[in-house]
Amino acid sequence: MNMSEKEEEWKSWHFRGSTGENIAFAAFYILVLVFAVPGNTLALWAFSKQKSSSPSKVFLCHLAIADLSYVLLLPMRVVYHLNDSLWPLGHVLCQLGGFLFYLNMYCSIYLMSLISLDRCLSVVLPLKSRAGSQEEAVKKTD
């Protein structure tokens, strides 16, 4: 079996969406890219200008970094969808792009979970969570 037969076999079972679906995905990814890059960059700039650093601010800063790196991978997805669901960038970039795409997605999920846990603890146990942040503030000033 030569390479062209393998490619034909692969194409026969590989689902390729309709042209309209691919254009819709590409347009959506471009729209996300246009709004998310400036938004996350602005958030990082705002976090860098703040003097205090509570756990929530640290989590949000890391979330902005994870989201920004996730969004910067979207142009590869746009190329994929505009190329009719065929990957033109080579095997290594396919593997690396897929790995980084899911790594950033899971980082964002875990960071949002930690932010939710931090907020929950600050509502359920307000004095204990506040005391812990005050102790950290005192340690920083010493």
Does residue 60 sit within a domain? yes
Alpha-carbon Rg for the chain in angstroms: 22
For residue 44, what are the contacts with CB-CB under 8 A and spacing of at least 6?
61, 64, 65, 68
Is 115 in a helix, a strand, or coil? helix
Domain containing 73 equals 17-109
Whether 25 contacts 84, CB under 8 Å: no
Number of domains the chain is built from: 1
Q: What is the pLDDT of residues 57-67, one digit of tens each?
A: 888 899 999 99
Interatomic CA distance for residues 103 and 119, integer angstroms: 24
Q: What is the pTM of this model?
A: 0.72
The Cα–Cα gap between 1 and 15 comes to 22
Q: Mean per-residue pLDDT for 104-124?
A: 91
Classify residue 27: in a domain, yes or no.
Answer: yes
Q: Is 61 a domain residue?
A: yes
Assess if residue 11 is contained within a domain: no
120 lies in a domain? no
